[in-house]
A = this chain, B = another copy of it.
Amino acid sequence: MGKCEQCIIREFNSLKSLTKQELTRISGCKVSKTIKKGEVLFKEGEHINGVYCIRDGICKVSKMSDNGRDQIINLIKKGDIIGERSLVNNEASNLKAIAVNDVQVCFIPKEEILNGLQNNIDFSMDMLKSMANSLKNADNVIVDMAQKTVKQRLAATLLFLHNKFKSNEDGYLDILLTREDIANIIGTATESAIRLLSEFNKKGYIKLKGKQVVVTNPTELQQIAQGF
C-alpha cells in the first residue's frame, strides 16, 4: 500500500499536523482495508483499538435506540477520521459504522495516535479543535431534533446531503441512501419520509429519479427547514 507521507487524504484531517517521522512510523504499521457496501466497519461495544482514516467511500455511523431502531448520527466520507473518541477515553465504541458504498480505510493502531497526542502539541490541538467542532455540530442537531417538525428536518437533511455529497454540476449525489436510511437520519418512520419526499417532488423542490434524490431548489428547502 501507499505511504502515509505521500497520502493527500491526511490534509483533510488532524493527521496533517504529524511530522514526517511520525508519518513514516505510522506508514509502517497501518493496515489498509476494503469494506464492501453494507459491511460493518465496527459495531457497538467493539474495542476498536485505533482509528480509521477514510480514504474513499462513505460510511453511515449509527446508534441503536432502546426501541430497536438505528439512528444515523453521522455520515463520514473521504478524509474523515473515526474512532478517536473511544481511543481517547479508552472505552468500547458506542457507535456502529456501516459502509454505504465500497469503502477504503486505513487502520492506525492506538499506540501510534496516543504517541502523537503525547508528543506533538500541534496534533493534539488539531484533535481538540476537531472535537470542539463536532460538539458544536451535535448541539445544533439536538436543537433541530427537539424543536423541528419532521418536514423541517427532512428539508435540512436534504440540504446537508446536497452540500456534503453533491458530485457534479447537475446536482447528483455521490451517495445513494435508501428511504429507510433517510428516515433514520431524520428520526422518523420510513413511510413518513417517503410521503414528504413525494410532496417535495411534486412541488418541485427536489427531483426523484429512481432512488436518486436531486435537490433542485435549495432556497425553498432552506425556507422550509427554518419553518416557513
Seen from chain A, the residues whose Cβ lies within 8 Å of a Cβ on chain B are 63, 65-67, 69, 71, 73, 84-86, 88-89, 91, 94-95, 117-118, 121, 124-125, 127-129, 131-136, 138-148, 186-187, 225-227
Contact = CB atoms under 8 A, between A and B. Distances in A.
B131 A132 contact: yes
21 contacts: A63-B139, A63-B143, A65-B146, A65-B148, A67-B148, A71-B146, A71-B147, A84-B132, A85-B135, A88-B128, A88-B132, A117-B121, A117-B125, A118-B125, A124-B128, A131-B131, A135-B138, A138-B138, A138-B142, A145-B145, A145-B146
A71 B142 contact: yes
Contact of A139 (B67, B138, B227): B138
B89 A129 contact: yes
Contacts of A227: 66-67
B139 A95 contact: yes
A225 to B, nearest CB: 8
A66 B226 contact: yes
Contacts of A146: 65, 71, 145, 186-187
A218 B82 CA distance: 35
A20 B117 CA distance: 23
Contacts of A145: 142, 145-146, 187
